[in-house]
Amino acid sequence: MNELPKSKTNWSDLAPRTLSAIAMAIIAGGATWAGGIWFVALLLGIAGAMLWELWRMMRGALAEGRDRARFVIYAVAIVIAAAFFIYVRLFGGGLQATVQLFAIVVITDVLGYFAGRTLGGPKFWPRISPKKTWAGTVAGWLGAATLGISVTQFETRDIVHSFHLETIGTIILFIALSFAAQMGDIVESSYKRRYGIKDSSNLIPGHGGFMDRFDGMVGLGFVGGIAMTVGSLVAGG
């Protein structure tokens, strides 16, 4: 996401990336639509693959007794994110809310990818992720904001005169979740940088591994899960 343009070879991975994205969209879309055990199986499969990739990435350090806390923290984040999405689909907002959450991550990633490669510009966090740009980051926020407007104004023709608190609140929420997804990307990049690898695995052509593809989901799901838990505790108190 948000990579600086270097040359025409930057687009060489677009074909396998697109084909893999289509395949993942079909599988994930079908399981999300079906819900129930199919959605649970999808999330457990993704989480399991990510945990394996995390262990594979860190096995050298873990064997030496290093970075165990880092492993546990990321592993817990993966589990919380998976539990959050399962809860939302099965017991929370259902299909509509789940699709909206997925859309935030996808829009943030896609717009960040193309804006970063096309526009380039200043880097977002060069020490951690040298190829991420502000252009891609802001493009992700704008995409999330647009989605927020669409969600609240779907049946309203005059958007300008209908900007009430609910709309503004939704826009802010969607931008915040977009930022959480971007931070998931940043955290995963910091892990790869620390352990000297380019991709978490090669399980998904054009995307690397499941951690590379679903890091944004982990970021959003982790923040969403924590926020939902805290909100429930406060409401219950």
Contact 84, 224 (CB under 8 A): yes
Percent of the chain past pLDDT 70, that is, above it, reads 89
pLDDT of 130 > 90? The answer is no
Type of residue found at 118: T
Residue 118 backbone class (left: φ over 0; alpha: ψ -120 to 50; beta: rest): alpha
pLDDT of 52 > 80? The answer is yes
What average pLDDT score do residues 126-155 get? 85
What is the average pLDDT score of the chain? Answer: 87
The pLDDT value given to residue 18? 85
Confidence of residue 160 (pLDDT cuts 50, 70, 90): very low
Mean pLDDT check: name the lowest of 38-52, 126-140, 176-190, 211-225.
126-140
Identify the residue with better confidence: 165 or 189: 189
What average pLDDT score do residues 189-197 get? 93
What average pLDDT score do residues 185-205 get? 92
DSSP string over the chain: --BPP-SGGGGTTHHHHHHHHHHHHHHHHHHHHH-HHHHHHHHHHHHHHHHHHHHHHHHHHHHTT--HHHHHHHHHHHHHHHHHHHHHHHTSSHHHHHHHHHHHHHHHHHHHHHHHHHH--SEEETTTEEEEEHHHHHHHHHHHHHHHHHHHSTT-S-SGGG--HHHHHHHHHHHHHHHHHHHHHHHHHHHHHHHT-S-S-SSBTTTBSHHHHHHHHHHHHHHHHHHHHHHHHHHH-
Structure tokens at 68: 């165990």
The pLDDT value given to residue 7? 41
The pLDDT value given to residue 204? 87
Contact 139, 111 (CB under 8 A): yes
Angle at 66 between CA 207 and CA 183, to 5 degrees: 40
Per-residue pLDDT tens digits for 70-111: 999 999 999 999 999 999 999 998 999 999 999 999 999 999
pTM above 0.75, yes or no: yes
The pLDDT value given to residue 9? 44
Confidence of residue 14 (pLDDT cuts 50, 70, 90): confident
pLDDT of 185 > 50? The answer is yes
What average pLDDT score do residues 28-49 get? 97
Confidence of residue 36 (pLDDT cuts 50, 70, 90): very high
